Structure 1
Amino acid sequence: MKMRPGSQTGFLLCGKEWSDGEALEVRSPWDQGLIGKVTIAKRADAREAVNHAVASLRRTRALPRWKRREILEDIAASLITQKDRFANLIVAEAGKPLRLARTEVDRAVLTFKTAAEEAARLGGETVPLDLTEGNENRWGLVQRFPVGPILAITPFNFPLNLVAHKVAPAIAAGCPILVKPSPQTPFTALALGEVILKAGWPEEALAVLPLENTDTAWLAEKEDRIKLVSFTGSAKVGWDLKAHSGRKRVLLELGGNAALIIHSDYRDLDGAAEWTAHAAFSHAGQSCISVQRVFVDKSIFQTFLWKLVEVTGKLVAGDPSHEATDLGPLIRPGEAERIESWIKEAVAAGARLIEGGERKGNMITPAILTGSKTGMKIRDEEVFGPVVVVEPYTDFEEALAEVNHSRFGLQAGLLTRDAGRILTAYRELEVGALIVGDTPAWRLDPMPYGGVKDSGLGREGIRSAIEEMTEPRMLVMTGMS
């Protein structure tokens, strides 16, 4: 893909770039300048992509482990050599600050390297069957086989690494895959598709298709030859997709309302304030594990709050292409307007705005509030923006209950030195992961990742995703007499 500002790029199907058809304009979240145009694939193109995927399954299933590993290692190597290219694409499309964009490329490299290791380890087990008289010469073997063609629907906020989290395990498992990228960030996914094909993955086994929502829904819900749908996005869309997908496997990585508990025995409040500010406001809070709620022991509440205000005031907001920028714009003007209205609604209902919350175009200054209550959107819903509420608590069990008082349950953080409290929180908190000694925004890509309640279904993380994308098959052998 050779993209020039304002030029039109085609979707990727069967190893070719198809440019005929209606074009979607992709504009910069920072200044609304035209980045380029991408051709929208039609339902007929999606059907053709499925035809090729089905036909290629026999080939991808038969690829030896060494070959899958080699392909994944070559993809990782290409990302390393093209780091600046991908980082600049992420900055342009997603408005992600340059330093964070570079980090995302590094994470994608780790994702593909980990998948290469898992491809080499993908094995099975033997099962003893000589357990009853008459079965002395029987034995069993279990191996995992690819489920079939996969549809991956990916969001804008990590346009490289969240595509990688679906494509890398699919390659390791031997599954053909169709990628439907976010309409805000198609170019990064298309560029990755080129890299994947150059590494040797079969052309028929990969398609990158910017699609209209109705055609995406048709693929996910009506096209029975798609065997698994992996979706990352909003809870509403994800659960609706699950309800209409019939017998398909569906993996959902959805929203969050991540909470952090800071207990009075935790001494490094300077560090806690620094981590919290970056975890709440980096990339303008556009992460499903961005810190949104902080519950602080009453005895240290005021000290922590004002340290957080001080650190937040030093964050650099502005042009995402600048090296020093910490937070850039929201992805769309409508998102900035929504967040501004939620802040105003909360203040009108009694919350106190301590810092920030001012909107200019797609930018909102980092907002810190306190005095929030159940029923306020900034407390109950996923803000997905640069907003954090900080509230005091008097009892640790009360803090745990406040964290659980949410329809989301992705990750939570805990800062305490007490092992008993850590184990209690691990047992009681209704989340997919508890991060002790850091904020809930921490994630290492190989780990199992996902949530409970409205935060999703299943787990990402390479090994977990490979297990979801494969199915065990039993072979029973009877000895020859």
Structure 2
Amino acid sequence: MKQMLWINGEKIETERYRPLTNPFNGEKIADVAEASQSDVVRAIDAAAGAARVMASMDAHKRADILRKVAELIQEEREECARLIAEESSKPLKAARAEVDRTIMTYTFASEEARRIQGETIPMDAAPGGEGRVAYTVKEPLGVISAITPFNFPMNLVAHKVGPAIAAGNSVVLKPASQTPLSAYKIAEYFQKAGLPAGALNVVTGSGKNVGDVLTSDDRIKKVTFTGSPAVGKHIRENAGLKRVTLELGSNSALIVDEGTDLQKVMPRIVTGAFSNQGQVCISIQRIFVHEAVAEEFTALFIEEAGKLKVGNPLDEDTDVAAMISAGDVERAKSWIQEAVGNGAELVLGGESDQQVLKPTVLLNAHPSDKISCEEVFAPVVHINTFSKFEDAITRVNESQFGLQAGVYTNDLQKAFKAARDLHVGGVMINEIPTFRVDHMPYGGVKMSGTGREGIKYAVEEMTELKLVSFKLD
């Protein structure tokens, strides 16, 4: 299979292609186009031309296009899930769940397209404002550049493309190098749904050839990026006056208080720790358990994690498959070894078979270990104990990240204290930090980024407010 670029509603050849392989078995999937800088400029040219068409398109037409995309994905749900599983090694049942969420995300975008609205302003509330009528309208920004990661190759594309189209913008999309086919598939659906040529362009290639142009070109009005803090910082420093939304990951924490029904919550916690091989921005990485229940919690956690089936992502019952690259496996293993060398106890896993890292559990990792203070993005969890609830909150907040945190407690006062004092973008009470539904505001503080996703909230950041005032006399 040869995958060309998608620019101005057409497949475009390039001079260079690179092989795309399955992370689990190494088999070649496709030859994927590598865009040159001139290819990216051509895509921006197309988006700039389509931006005028999109800005004048009626809201109900944009809504209908987005709804039709959701329907087309639903019709090919299984094909989409297998595509995700093959190029990202996401277990098939998790890939199906992602497709279902993608359908919901475009459905939300369709609905939000119909309710972009302003408000009337009481100008006579201030002296000198008498005899005037004023209102606000929200207008599209223009060309949006979207840069997406490998771990949710359809749904995180939807979280950028959906609100951009809903708001009447055009898009140049750069998907992750390992998972481009899902993005190109979505572009096909938008064409079938009637999106004007140039309103969605997909270009693949290196960060230097593609990402830098998408950040620096003055016709780009907003950059929306999900990925590493280092790249996010580079984008922020080079974007100039463009709007920027950055979702940069985390080392998400879970607090488990005494009195928690451990038997009831344990399957949920293990899922939050090891789903998609831990390659989730809000995957549970740090667990802080009250000392009164720590021994029972640890035993149950290890038992539940031991039930997970490791293997081929296309097998129906696989829970954990290959990580996205061999380099990521080696990095995670080196962090595990560092923690053990500094006194942590390895009680489960730690071994790998090719690119499959087995679910790994550490006890009492030091706060300065990389496994504690960096984002491991792997199926690795460490469990620590606390005696005072306030101390657990302090330890969660010691992180340079702040995306989401989870708290299990039966004490209402502690729940409100956690909600108030945890310095994160989202506090999940009696839930894991890995919880997300696609219409809620989603984003972080500190090194976890800036701005919010969630369709309604992304639309706000992809429109600009205009005031219109009439003097009646």
TM range (shorter): over 0.9
Is the 1:8–1:19 contact (alpha carbons within 8 Å) kept by the matching residues of 2? no
Distance 1:330 1:133, change over 3 A: closer
Alignment of 1:316 with 2:302, yes or no, is: no
Farther-moved stretch of structure 1 (215-224 vs 297-306): 215-224
Partner residue in 1 for 2:361: 368
Partner residue in 1 for 2:67: 73
Partner residue in 1 for 2:341: 348
Alignment of 1:210 with 2:204, yes or no, is: yes
CA–CA separation in structure 2 for the residues paired with 1:459 and 1:131: 32
Distance 1:417 1:133, change over 3 A: closer
Query: 1:55: Cα distance to partner?
Result: 1.6
In the TM superposition, structure 1's runs of 4+ consecutive aligned residues that sit over 2 Å from their partners are 130-137
Q: 1:286-341: CA deviations, max 9, x gaps?
A: 00100000000000000000000000111011000000001111000110011111
Query: 1:134: Cα distance to partner?
Result: 6.3
Q: TM-score, normalised by structure 1?
A: 0.97
Query: 1:478: Cα distance to partner?
Result: 1.9
CA–CA separation in structure 1 for the residues paired with 2:352 and 2:40: 40
Q: Which SS does the other structure have where 1:296 is aligned? A: strand
Query: 1:272: Cα distance to partner?
Result: 2.4
CA–CA separation in structure 1 for the residues paired with 2:23 and 2:455: 31
Alignment of 1:269 with 2:242, yes or no, is: no
How is 1:438-449 mapped onto 2 (pairs within 5 angstroms)? 438-449=431-442
Is the 2:54–2:168 contact (alpha carbons within 8 Å) kept by the matching residues of 1? yes
Is the 1:220–1:245 contact (alpha carbons within 8 Å) kept by the matching residues of 2? no
How is 1:22-33 mapped onto 2 (pairs within 5 angstroms)? 22-33=16-27
Q: TM-score, normalised by structure 2?
A: 0.98
Out of 193, 197, 206, the residue aligned to residue 199 of structure 1 is 193
Is the 1:262–1:295 contact (alpha carbons within 8 Å) kept by the matching residues of 2? yes
AA partner of residue 247 (structure 1): L
Query: 1:460: Cα distance to partner?
Result: 0.4
Query: 1:467: Cα distance to partner?
Result: 0.4
Distance 1:137 1:269, change over 3 A: same
How is 1:236-315 mapped onto 2 (pairs within 5 angstroms)? 236-266=230-260, 268-315=261-308
CA–CA separation in structure 2 for the residues paired with 1:156 and 1:251: 18
Aligned identity (percent) is 41
Out of 134, 149, 152, the residue aligned to residue 146 of structure 2 is 152
Out of 173, 182, 200, the residue aligned to residue 176 of structure 2 is 182
Farther-moved stretch of structure 1 (207-216 vs 180-189): 207-216
Out of 395, 401, 408, the residue aligned to residue 401 of structure 2 is 408
- State the superposition RMSD in angstroms: 1.1
Is the 1:281–1:387 contact (alpha carbons within 8 Å) kept by the matching residues of 2? yes
CA–CA separation in structure 2 for the residues paired with 1:109 and 1:327: 24
AA partner of residue 16 (structure 1): E
Is the 2:148–2:174 contact (alpha carbons within 8 Å) kept by the matching residues of 1? yes
Is the 1:35–1:93 contact (alpha carbons within 8 Å) kept by the matching residues of 2? yes
Q: Which SS does the other structure have where 1:227 is aligned? A: strand
CA–CA separation in structure 2 for the residues paired with 1:410 and 1:429: 10
Alignment of 1:431 with 2:428, yes or no, is: no
**Unaligned stretches of 5+ residues in structure 2:** none
Farther-moved stretch of structure 1 (159-168 vs 18-27): 18-27
Is the 2:400–2:446 contact (alpha carbons within 8 Å) kept by the matching residues of 1? yes
CA–CA separation in structure 1 for the residues paired with 2:304 and 2:216: 50
CA–CA separation in structure 2 for the residues paired with 1:344 and 1:129: 65
Partner residue in 2 for 1:3: none
Q: 1:363-410: CA deviations, max 9, x gaps?
A: 111110012112111111100000000011000000000100100000
Query: 1:477: Cα distance to partner?
Result: 1.1
